[in-house]
Each structure stands twice: as structure tokens, then as C-alpha cells.
Structure 1
Amino acid sequence: MTLTIWILFSDRLFCSRLAALVGRAVPGSKVFLFSSVPDCLQKAGGRMPADLIFADPFADPAFWPFLQDLQSQGRTDLIILTKDGRPACLATALQKGAWDFLLLPVRGKRLFQSLDRYLAIRTGLSQSRLLTQASVDRCLALRAPIPAPSKAVDPGEEKLLSCLASLGPQGADAVTLSRLLDCSPGTARTKAEALVQKKMAGRRPGLSGKKGRPRTFYYLVNASWPV
């Protein structure tokens, strides 16, 4: 999938390094570097509108009106990279519909994870076929960040967290989890119950299988599922 990506930062060295990382994560895309909103307005005339922008909107008061104008012409998504970690900034980013909010300095692995989720959803939404509930839930799971495991989480539980994140808000029963984890249903249930005790997972009653047998479903909690 070819994307047009704009990077807006006054630090030219940072722009170049970020462009190199983005180029590795999204090969074949067109990446343009700008030092500011006025620089972008001057140089981007006649070019295709951006599919995705990397910027720090809190460093330039002209950015939000600029983004609103772009979004009125078509879909333009935003990934914020900023050193400003105030809760008010995060609240503003969510209100403005930012795709992701990354605090600088950010690790390349975290940036790649954000881009991987973004590309997966853009690819899924660009297909002409109708979405099924499973594909909708998959998109929601891709959007939700996987919570960072605490020191009290063992490798098996960490894998279970990743599985629950991929399943979406509906979760799964112990039998389904055992297939994903390659273990017995009893082991999967034990690990899931351990996460419930740590308040990292929740459980609810449900029906499973063709006969609709009652099962306990486990799901990820504290994930920012979009509505």
C-alpha cells in the first residue's frame, strides 16, 4: 500500500532520521519533510494530500487549523510525537482524532508497532468487500495498544495478553485460548484467571460452539477500544 506521508518538525536532523525509520516501515511510500506549517503550505502546493502526518501540534499553534483544512479535503491521519506529556495534551489529541500519541524520545520498535497497526487498518478499510463482525473486531484489536506487562507477568501471561488484544473486546473462552497458546484448556483457564486476579483481564458468561454451550469468556481490560 503506497501512502503519502508528511513529516513536520523544525529539527532537520530529527526529520531525516524519522524519515529513514518510516521508509523502512512503509516501503514504497512517498515521504516529504517540512520544517513548519508555512513551509508545508509553500512547498506542498499541487502535491497529493497527505494520508499520514507526523508532527508535534503543541509546538505550533497554527497546526490544528492546518490539519482541519486538510481533513476537509479528504482523510488525513495524524501521529503525534512530542515531549509534552501533560494530560491536557493527550486529551486534546484524543479530541482531535489523532491516531497515536508518542512521547519523545520514542523507541523505533514502538513506532513500528504504531505504523503496523495503522497500515493493517488502512488496508482493511480500503477493500471494497463488506466488513464482517470478525473483521470489525480485528480492526478494533489492532487499534488498541497492548498494555505493557508488569514485572509480575510471566512470559506465558504476556503471550496471553497479546492474544486477548488480537481478539478484540469480545474476548474468547478457554478452549479458544488454548488453541492460540498451544496448551490445554485448563492451563489457558489458569493463566486467564491469574490475569483476572491482577485486574488485567475480565470475564463474562457467554455461549460457545454450535450447540451454544455456556462458557466463561475472558477479555482484555483497560484497553482503549474506539467506538
Structure 2
Amino acid sequence: MKDNRLLLLGILEVMENAVLENNRDVFFNKFYQIRNMRADSATPELVGTFKRLLLKAIAEFNKNNSFNTIVSSIISLSYGLIPTDKLDTDLLKILNDCVELPDTRIKANALTAVCEFDPNSELFKEHINSKFNRIAAEAIIAEGKKGLSTKIFDKLREFFGSSNPFFVASGIYAVGQLMDYYRESFSRSENMFQSDFDFFIKKITVFSSHPHEMVRKRALQTKKLIESEKKSA
């Protein structure tokens, strides 16, 4: 375990140097090595190293917005590498501040991270009506995890009825995420919103033959997720 922590620290330090040198090949090579890592513990040194990496990437983004993919990628690592009980208030503030940065990908990933670390945050309500599909979808997922409501489902129906395929695909993704989150209550037939989800399941089946590739792929992926959950129930 200690060896793994040292290895991770070393990788984060290499990524930090790559940010400062604007060496994207090295940065993303290391990013892909650890992007699926899930840690059950984190030392203060690891949290500090991660925080330093993120702050340096943000500083570079503020000078050159082409660093947006680097910042958003680092944010996406946060909830895999740092357990919620190891997060410090400084890092949470940085993630909240990232929601205000002028880039949709950074905003969306920051909302996802805040949802993981601070699920009761009031931040999400501000972004449910965002004109950017990913930001609105992440906000809906976060609010939906707090508790399902007719407001959440009305907003999802707007997504599904949109003429914009990006919003349709994001709506499908949001439904899949919420179904996964509430899967235990479905298996016990205790979810009062089962009929609402049934409506979306039927729509997702229709969308699996949608002419737009992005909508079709997202529908097929979500349909597969739903079917696998039914088998395991």
C-alpha cells in the first residue's frame, strides 16, 4: 500500500512538471495511468500534492484557456484519488471556485466533484437551467441525488423533448445516473417515482434507434446499464 502511495505521489509530481512545461503528451500519459484509480485512503501529503497540481493548472488556464482540458482532467481525478473524509476545506473551496471558471468542461467536472464531496451543497440549484447541457445535467443529477421531485422529472422531460441532440443525450445520461443511484429502492419496489422512470426507459428504447449518433450511443449504453441492473436485482 505504501509503495502504491509513493507511486501515485510520483505520478502527480510528474504531471505537475508537465503542466509547467506545457508537455501534454507526458501529462495525459500519466493521467490515463491513474484515471480509473479508486483510493480508500489518502495522506495529507497526497492531498497537498493534488491541490498544488490543480492550482498550478488553474494558474496556467488563467493565462491560456487551452489548458481547459488539463484542468478538467485533474478535477475528474479528485473523487477517485481522495476519499470524502480526507478532503480538506481548502480543496473543496478550490473545486467550488472552479465552477465559476469560464469553461463549460471545467464547470461540469467541478460540479461532479462537488456533488461527490459536498452532496448537500446549494450550488447545484444555480445551474439546473444552464444553457450548457453538461452543466445542467450534472446539476440535475446532484439535486436528484438529494431527493427526487416532480421538478427534477419536469426538467428531464425538457431534455428528452429538446431539438438539441446534446441535451437529449445529456438527459439520457442523467436518467441512467439517477436510476443507478436509486437501484436498491427499485429492486424493493419502494420508489414512488417508478412510473416516471418507466416513461424514460421507454423513451430511451426509442432513442436507441435515433438518427443522431451521439443520442443513439448514449441510449444504447444506458439501456445496457438498465438491463444489467434488472438482471442483478
> Which structure's relative contact order is higher, taking Cα pairs within 8 Å and 6+ residues apart?
1
User: TM-score scaled by structure 2?
Assistant: 0.31
Structure having the higher helix fraction is 2
Choose 1 or 2 for highest CA Rg. 1
Q: Which has the higher strand share?
A: 1
